[in-house]
Amino acid sequence: MGFWWRPLGVLAGVLLVALILWAGSGWVAALGFLAGIQAFVMLRRLWQEYRLARWLENPEEVTPPNAMGTWGDIFYRLEKLQRRQRDSRSELANALEQFEHAAQAVPDGMVILNGSEQIEWCNPASRKYMGLDSERDSGQFIRYLMRQAPFLEFLDAVDYSRRLVCKSPVNREITLSMQLIPFGENKKLLVARDITDLERVDAMRRDFIANVSHELRTPLTVVGGFVETLADAPDLPATESRRYFDLMLDHTRRMQHLLDDLLTLSRLESEEHSLKDEPVNMPELARALQTEAESLSRGRHRISLRLDSSATLRGNLQEIRSALGNLVSNAVRYTPEGGEITLAWRERDGEGVFSVTDSGEGIAAEHIPRLTERFYRIDRSRSRETGGTGLGLAIVKHVLTRHGARLDVQSAPGKGSTFSAIFPASRIQPYSSPESGKVIPFREREQAAG
Site of interaction with ligand ADP (CB under 6 A)? 326, 330-331, 334, 358, 360-361, 363, 371, 376-379, 383, 388-394, 417
- Judged by CB, which is closer to ligand ADP: 236, or 368? 368
Smallest gap, in angstroms, from Cβ of residue 418 to ligand ADP? 9
Smallest gap, in angstroms, from Cβ of residue 208 to ligand ADP? 14
- Judged by CB, which is closer to ligand ADP: 48, or 330? 330
Smallest gap, in angstroms, from Cβ of residue 323 to ligand ADP? 11
- Judged by CB, which is closer to ligand ADP: 112, or 341? 341
Smallest gap, in angstroms, from Cβ of residue 325 to ligand ADP? 11
Smallest gap, in angstroms, from Cβ of residue 341 to ligand ADP? 9
- Judged by CB, which is closer to ligand ADP: 254, or 403? 254
Smallest gap, in angstroms, from Cβ of residue 188 to ligand ADP? 51
- Alpha-carbon distance 251 to 257, whole Å? 10
- Judged by CB, which is closer to ligand ADP: 279, or 336? 336
- Judged by CB, which is closer to ligand ADP: 195, or 409? 409
- Judged by CB, which is closer to ligand ADP: 62, or 210? 210
Region label for 304, one of left (φ > 0), alpha (ψ between -120 and 50) or beta (otherwise): beta
Smallest gap, in angstroms, from Cβ of residue 382 to ligand ADP? 7
